[in-house]
């Protein structure tokens, strides 16, 4: 028998030390495993392994029975920006246009309608949906506004797969990876007020741009209760959604609410719409300086040098992930490849990088200025 073993066995005091040491190790293990930080780390590890999926959702439904598919340049722009910045697995367009109508638009539609249909045919999936007409606790509220019909469709559809919802007047301005991986099931952003309201919308969560996992608590509650709670008021869905989101903040990892700059830095009032879209006289905004550095301070300093050379009318979208461009529908004449490339409007500066990439890929000539619409397809 080796000497050492014999000695340990023969010494009662060493045996006691060993037992104490084992007890300490067990105690430490229990403390570490049950410690709130360890528990939290386990939860975060789980979340990091399952981000919000990069699946983009848009809704495009008929205004009336005779509507035809007709996309302005702004719609091609947002789809292209989604493909460029978000690198999605799929882009859904949820619609009540049938296959024949889609095929017809592809043949005889405007130049931008055709561009939407032919630029990324494998990425875009046209998903036929039923458009709801009725809501309310007794199914007696008629859903009149196309925007409200779309509210219901967007939630019903995104709840199934998860992803990023965007209205067609929203343009992503950068990668959303940091938000997809932030560790929350739902990410929303607040917005300013509407044009005919007295403050009921200001501060609510914008439902034109948000991110959610499939079947998140947020999505399940909205899908379950939105129909029942609908009372036809314009702000009804927004206020309800905001209330649910704010409550869910207190349940870990459910909801992250960002400020107004994140998804909706401008608003519906005229002063904000014209400041976003109208071209400005005089010198255009200088092209942004670039750096290949990955050092945050180098990138920051390069941004500051660009800002120092800005024009007086320039807005700052540095902290904007998605630009909900309120008023896009009335400003299509200002949203053209030519005007955007001229760097004379705030919308143009925000989307310049996107149109430059289109130009480099030969998808636009850069001379289109709104007058090419009629020439499409005939
Ligand atoms: C598609 O809709 C049109 C009306 O716009 C209708 O005439 C046609 O029958 C529909 N086609 C199919 C396959 O449902
Ligand atoms: C539209 O037509 C192009 C060919 O001209 C085709 O590649 C594309 O898949 C069509 N898109 C749709 C949505 O049918
Ligand atoms: C919205 O509310 C903020 C304060 O939270 C206020 O500063 C702002 O003027 C309001 N703006 C609009 C457009 O409603
Ligand atoms: C960044 O790298 C690319 C490719 O190497 C190069 O063409 C470009 O000039 C670089 N840009 C700057 C600002 O250094």
Among 147, 150, 144, smallest CA distance to 268 is for 147
pLDDT tens sequence across 33-83? 677 777 777 766 766 678 999 999 999 999 998 999 999 999 999 999 999
pLDDT at residue 1, rounded to an integer = 46
Which residue CA neighbors atom 2 of ligand 4 most closely? 292
pLDDT tens sequence across 86-127? 999 999 999 999 999 999 999 999 999 999 999 999 999 999
3-state secondary structure of 127: strand
How remote is the CA of residue 169 from the centroid of ligand 3, in Å? Answer: 21
Asked whether 283 lines ligand 4 (CB < 6 A), one says no
How remote is the CA of residue 67 from the centroid of ligand 1, in Å? Answer: 12
How remote is the CA of residue 247 from the centroid of ligand 4, in Å? Answer: 47
3-state secondary structure of 323: strand
| pTM, to two decimals | 0.87
Look up residue 50 and give its DSSP letter: S
Q: Quick one: which H or E segment has residue 56?
A: strand 55-60
Which ligand is located closest to the Cα atom of residue 66? 1
Look up residue 190 and give its DSSP letter: B
Backbone angles phi, psi at 94, to 5 degrees: -80, 125
Asked whether 105 lines ligand 2 (CB < 6 A), one says no
Which residue CA neighbors atom 2 of ligand 1 most closely? 98
Asked whether 232 lines ligand 2 (CB < 6 A), one says no
Asked whether 100 lines ligand 1 (CB < 6 A), one says yes
Which ligand is located closest to the Cα atom of residue 289? 4
pLDDT tens sequence across 135-156? 877 777 888 888 888 889 999 9
Which residue CA neighbors atom 9 of ligand 1 most closely? 100
Q: C-alpha distances in angstroms, 72 versus 275, 300, 328? A: 21, 35, 10
Cα separation, 155 vs 238, whole angstroms: 13
Q: Do the strands 55-60 and 90-95 form a parallel or antiparallel pair, or are they unpaired?
A: parallel
Residue from 288, 292, 305 to probe ligand 4 pocket by mutation (most atoms less than 8 Å from CB) = 292
Cα separation, 366 vs 347, whole angstroms: 16
């Amino acid at each position: 028998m080796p000497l050492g073993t014999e000695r340990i066995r023969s010494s009662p005091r060493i045996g006691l030390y060993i037992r104490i040491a084992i007890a300490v190790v067990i105690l430490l293990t229990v403390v570490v495993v049950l410690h709130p930080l360890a528990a939290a780390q386990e939860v975060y590890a789980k979340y990091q392994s399952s981000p919000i999926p990069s699946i983009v959702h848009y809704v495009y439904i008929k205004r009336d029975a005779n509507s035809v598919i007709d996309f302005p340049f702004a719609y091609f722009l947002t789809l292209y920006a989604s493909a460029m910045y978000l690198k999605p697995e799929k882009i859904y367009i949820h619609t009540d246009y049938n296959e024949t109508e889609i095929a017809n638009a592809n043949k005889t539609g405007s130049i931008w309608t055709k561009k939407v249909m032919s630029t990324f045919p494998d990425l875009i999936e046209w998903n036929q949906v039923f458009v709801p007409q009725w809501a309310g606790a007794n199914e007696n509220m008629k859903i009149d506004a196309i925007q409200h019909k779309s509210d219901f469709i967007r939630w019903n559809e995104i709840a199934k797969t998860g992803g990023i919802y965007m209205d067609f007047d929203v343009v992503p301005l950068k990668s959303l990876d940091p938000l997809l991986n932030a560790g929350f099931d739902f990410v929303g952003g607040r917005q300013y007020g509407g044009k005919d309201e007295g403050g009921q919308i200001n501060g609510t969560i914008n439902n034109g741009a948000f991110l959610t996992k499939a079947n998140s608590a947020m999505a399940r509650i909205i899908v379950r209760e939105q129909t029942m709670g609908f009372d036809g008021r314009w702000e009804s869905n927004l206020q309800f959604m905001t209330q649910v989101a704010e409550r869910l903040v207190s349940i870990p990892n459910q909801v992250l609410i960002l400020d107004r700059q994140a998804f909706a830095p401008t608003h519906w009032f005229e002063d904000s719409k014209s400041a976003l879209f109208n071209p400005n006289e005089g010198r255009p905004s200088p092209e942004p300086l670039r750096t290949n550095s990955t050092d945050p301070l180098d990138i920051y300093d390069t941004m500051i040098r660009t800002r120092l050379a800005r024009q007086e009318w320039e807005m700052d979208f540095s902290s904007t992930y998605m630009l909900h461009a309120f008023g896009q529908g009335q400003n299509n004449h200002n949203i053209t490849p030519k005007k955007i490339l001229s760097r004379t409007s705030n919308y143009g500066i925000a989307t310049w990088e996107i149109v430059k990439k289109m130009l480099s890929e030969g998808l636009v000539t850069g001379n289109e200025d709104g007058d090419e619409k009629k020439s499409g397809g005939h």
